[in-house]
Amino acid sequence: MILTLASASPRRRELVRKLGMDVEIRPADADEHTEEKDDKTAVTDIAERKARAVSGDLVLGADTMVVACGRRLGKPKNEREAYEMFSLLCGRTHSVLTGVCLIGGGKCVRACEETLVEFGPYDDAVVSAYIRSGKPFDKAGGYGIQDPELAPIIKNITGDYDNVLGLPVKLVGRLIGENFT
C-alpha cells in the first residue's frame, strides 16, 4: 500500500519516511482557515480538509498549530509578528497540536497529538539572530524545535518530539496499524 502525504512540508516528508512505507507526496491545496473554537477539533478539521483534497489508496493529511497564552500562532508574516510570537512563547509552556487524518478504503480516521514545550526566559540576542536568519517564517509558532540556534531557550519538551517537528509518527503508525492493515 502506498501512503500519500497531502503536504508540502519538508519536515513532514522526512518524518513520514520513518513509517517504513512507500510514500507519495502530493501537496494539498486546502483552506486552512477555521472558525472552530476548540483547538484540537480545529487542527483535525484542517488535517481532514488536506487529506480530502488529494487522492490515493491511503491519504494522510496533517496540520500543526501552536497555542500560547490562549492564542493560536500560525506562521509569522513578518519580523514584527515573529518577535511578538517569541514574547508569548518565552518564559512559558505552550502546546503544539498536530491533527492527523487518514482516509482510505472507505474509512476516515482522525486524531490529535499534543506536546508541551517550555521556553526559558526571553533572550534578545538569541531571538533576534534567529529571526534575522529567516527560519521562523515557514513554521507554525515561528520556530523550529530542531534549529540549534534555539537550544539556549528551549527548556523542556513533554511528549512526542516528532509532533513538534510536524508529524506524530508513532500516532500515525498506530492508526494505520489499527485501521488500515
Quick one: which of 123, 66, 132, 126 has its CA closest to 95?
66
User: Which residue out of 63, 138, 147, 160 is catalytically annotated?
Assistant: 63
C-alpha cell at 146: 530542531
Q: What sign has the CA pseudo-torsion 170, 172, 178, 180?
A: negative
- Asked if 143 contacts 130 with a C-beta cutoff of 8 angstroms, the reply is yes
DSSP summary character for residue 136: G
Quick one: which of 87, 95, 75, 92 has its CA closest to 136?
75
User: Is residue 138 flagged as an active site residue?
Assistant: no
* Residues recognised as catalytic: 63
